[in-house]
A = this chain, B = another copy of it.
Amino acid sequence: MPRQQSDQVKSAKAPVGRPPSMPAPRATILDAAAKLFAAHGFEGASLNDVARAVGVTKAAVYHYFPTKKDIFDEMMIDLLERQYAAVSTEVNAAATPPDRLKAFMRAQAEFLEGNHAAFVVMLHGFGGIEKNHWTEQQLALRDRYEALLRTLLADGKASGAFAIDDVATAARAILSLMNWMVRWFRPEGKTRAVDFALQYYALVVSGLQPRS
């Protein structure tokens, strides 16, 4: 009976890569890894650390993610896809360029707060500025997201709603404000990320010079 023989062989090898019994294993592993990479950096946390945080063996983690980089890659694709979906929905529901910009900044802050660890990993998971850990697919998703902001700014410039010299510079400035939040915003603090975003929105729209 070849079938049974095959099962026996498989069974003998099973302990090495047997799926652990946990609900939603991929999401559970990604969540634990995000917290560890956010705190200690991608280089500062091992697959062993991830397994220990989840409460399974390293072999169990291997079963789902053959390498630590595979965890990072899936975490980033998932984050970037969900970010675009969440933020573009809010932007598209707003009518005027100022309201669309406000929606962008609000939704981005809300998404940051709701996905804080993975967000920190995306923007601050690696020490140093060598970029070779990003895949083409991830870079394309990042570019699509930045284009969402540039398009709404360009629309506002075209309609006269915004006075903008250079759309790319304005978009970069707004993303800098939002991105640097990973370095100081604490989800356990008393102020919500959305409230900080609204303060930044008011600053970006009004400017420091008093309006007569």
Contacts and interface: CB of A to CB of B under 8 A. Distances in A.
Interface of A: 37-44, 98, 101, 120, 124-130, 153, 156, 160-166, 169-170, 172-173, 175-177, 179-184, 196, 199-200, 202-211
Contacts of A160: 210
A123 to B, nearest CB: 8
B209 A163 contact: yes
Given A127-B43, A128-B39, A169-B203, A208 B177 contact: no
This protein's copies in its complex: 2
B127 A163 contact: no
A149 to B, nearest CB: 12
Interface SS of chain A: helix, strand, loop or mixed? Answer: helix
B204 A208 contact: yes
A207 B207 CA distance: 4
B39 A129 contact: yes
Nearest to A160: B210
